[in-house]
Structure 1
Amino acid sequence: MAEVTIVGVIGTGQIGSRMARRLLRAGLRVVIHDSDPVAMEGVTGVQQVDSAAAVARDCDLIIICVTDHHAVRDVVMGEEGILEAVLPKHLVIDTTTSTPATTREVAAALRERGADLVDAPVSRGVPAAENGTLSIMLGGHKASRERAWPVLEKLGTDIILTGEVGTGHIAKAMNMMVMAVNFTATMELMHVADSLGIPRETSIAHFAAGPGRSFVLDHHWPRYILPATYNSGFTLGLMWKDLRIASKIAADSGQVPLLGERVTSLYRWAATAGMAEADNTRLVEFTDQIHGLTQSARPGASSQYVLECLDQALFAAVYLGTLEALAVARAAGLESEQLLAVLNVSSGGSTVSKGMHDGYGNLELLYANVRKVTLMAIERGDPCFVMSLVPQILAMGLRELPRAASDDVIIDFMQRRMGKGDHSQGSGGESG
């Protein structure tokens, strides 16, 4: 197979523009198109064209990095789209956070012309796109994955094979849902500590050394939240969009993820309150306003006791959020091993995804600890939007499961409780 020397990039926003620059620095010729001409102005040294079809006329290999699944369909199947110029030699790499239903529809249309598509959504954000250290979730036919690999290696350091076409998008959406649960649970428990007079630096440091440790604890809090920089490069509106895609994948698979839907509602509240263009880490500021930052001079109990209770509550949220995503992924057709591999190199990673939670999964003990924290929050007037669901889910589990159930048993239980529980492949039609 001939070495790729020219690549098209359709969509030159925050991530796509940086992909184009990385490919240029790797010595490739790059052709770009964006529906907004202003978005192309900052990308120098490339050839700019006025349509997706024009990109296809110049390039055999085309990367799509647009806003959502609707935009993907337009780029490929719309007026002046890739299909108008496609030939059997073409390979499309879709890095957009999209839906598997759209991915399969678009891939089928390309295959009718002899071309192909792989889905390769990315994680780790703008800094990783700048540095070529993205994590990439790659789904599609083996030959097409192998053809895409040399180009993707110039963009990322961790490429995880997820399976058939569409599974990359399932993995990306579930990663974002887990990240959101981990982030909001940490934030809400930090607010409880706030209300008891415990400094944020103290509570976050304690959480980061505990069983609920996650990527967002290691990465977002020290870089963007505690120093109040709020500059992760990913907007709250985009996070809400990704969560809506995760919800759609769940719905198409006959599932209703309880924690996933709750965090989606919280992001919707913030986005529609005028924060869609703000950095997603400013959700902390939004909830600061809700909580009013009411603090007492000293906690009613010792700080150490309070922090130990909060530690266990955070673990419970991270644990259930991760297993819930694994249940949705299984129903949608993605194996647990592939999703765990993705989480562990992406923003949804935690002690749970890495299997470092032996001895913490006793449902009865978790329920007792989370209930203490819930009562603590109620006494302080703390509206824990997401954490309030955790004891309810644990209580449901305790009615049906052993006190020390395995992860797989809990995943099966969640899949039954969230929907059909029929292990369907989740390839339902796209509603548009």
Structure 2
Amino acid sequence: MNIGLIGLGNMGGRIAKRLMERGHQLCVYDVNSDLLEDFRTLGAKTTDSLPDLARSCYYVMTVLPNADVVKSVVLEKEGLITGMEPGNVLIDITSSVPDVTTEVGESLDQRGIRMLDAPVSGGLKRAEEGELAVMAGGDEKTFSEVLPLLNDIGSNITHVGELGAGHTIKVLNNLVSATTFAITAEALSIGIKKGLSPSKMLEVINHSTGRNNSSENKFPQHVLTRKFDVGFAMDLMCKDLTIATDIIRNEKMPAFVSDTVYQLWQYAQSKSEKGADHSVYAKLIEEMSGLEIKD
């Protein structure tokens, strides 16, 4: 199957390689010419023209930094919309803003072009293994059509509702993830202060009701080891938290915990080096408590 993919960064590059491993013919685009050359050597077709990519591929995936970039890549004068034909499908994997997604989708729909939002969760290792969780929004018939393609990059594929629903649940999931990471860091630091071993605490938590992805994976593999390399940037986590809190405010929903979590992570971002992994949030708790979360 001929597929176009735009955005060869940490996640997009791994998804692209996974699709090639599954036998798909790939045409790729990125503003980074070095990344394009890397994929050319791997056997992908490369292009520096978005309309040309759109004309050659029935399905086009975007894996981009944010909603503004997606809107520009799709709708600007030299964007995908000028090359896509009626019936073609845009699959946006970006962690994006739901309202922008529906705006882009409406513009494409006027030309008979279909769109799904299908953000992913699971990290870089699961992307390499094709084990991502995919949460898709959009027309159910279109979702069923592209499901075999999504199954090549993910092991847990869920259709969650209309266009924009995928991007909504993605940022809400990351709001929960950020919350569990923050409270796990605090709990471990308190226990260490009282003389407990963090690995023993995690063993108990992971066999008890406090178990969460941070306690099971992030802390034992990336914090206690001092690697801080989960593979999801602090900037991206804070971007998703901003989108989530904007949704909460627009819908006038209660946000006692959400607002606090948002503020904590914004503060952690201000204390972190540019490009830092989001797991360095634990270092903020360490600094404030005067200890290290390690055995």
Aligned-partner Cα distance in 1 for 2:115–2:166? 12
The aligned amino acid for 1:33 is Y
Aligned-partner Cα distance in 2 for 1:39–1:121? 22
Aligned to 1:178: 176
Q: Per residue, is there more strand in 1 or in 2?
A: 2
Aligned to 1:23: 19
1:17-63 deviations in whole A, cap 9, x for unaligned? 11111111111110111123334343321111113222201111001
- Rg comparison, structure with higher value: 1
> Offset at 1:294?
8.9
| SS of the residue 2:94 aligns to | coil
1:82-104 deviations in whole A, cap 9, x for unaligned? 11112103100011111110111
Aligned to 2:50: 52
- The aligned runs of 1:3-22 (5 Å cut-off) are 5-22=1-18
Q: TM-score, normalization: structure 2?
A: 0.94
Q: Runs of 5+ in structure 1 lacking a partner?
A: 296-432
Shift of the 48–294 alpha-carbon distance from structure 1 to 2, 3 Å rule, reads closer
Aligned to 2:197: 199
> Offset at 1:109?
0.5
The aligned amino acid for 2:76 is G
Aligned-partner Cα distance in 1 for 2:292–2:149? 52
Contact map agreement 2:286 2:292 (CA 8 A) in 1: no
- The aligned runs of 1:262-281 (5 Å cut-off) are 262-281=260-279
Shift of the 261–56 alpha-carbon distance from structure 1 to 2, 3 Å rule, reads same
> Offset at 1:237?
1.3
Contact map agreement 1:235 1:276 (CA 8 A) in 2: no
Aligned-partner Cα distance in 2 for 1:189–1:95? 34
> Offset at 1:112?
0.2
| SS of the residue 2:182 aligns to | helix
Q: TM-score, normalization: structure 1?
A: 0.65
Aligned-partner Cα distance in 1 for 2:155–2:269? 32
Contact map agreement 1:237 1:275 (CA 8 A) in 2: no
Aligned to 1:35: 31
Match among 182, 188, 191 for residue 190 of structure 1: 188
Aligned to 1:424: none
Contact map agreement 2:272 2:280 (CA 8 A) in 1: no
RCO comparison, higher one (Cα < 8 Å, 6+): 1
Aligned-partner Cα distance in 2 for 1:290–1:42? 43
Shift of the 253–39 alpha-carbon distance from structure 1 to 2, 3 Å rule, reads farther
| SS of the residue 1:232 aligns to | coil
**Aligned residues between the structures:** 291
- The aligned runs of 1:275-424 (5 Å cut-off) are 275-293=273-291
Match among 250, 253, 260 for residue 252 of structure 1: 250
- The aligned runs of 1:108-257 (5 Å cut-off) are 108-257=106-255
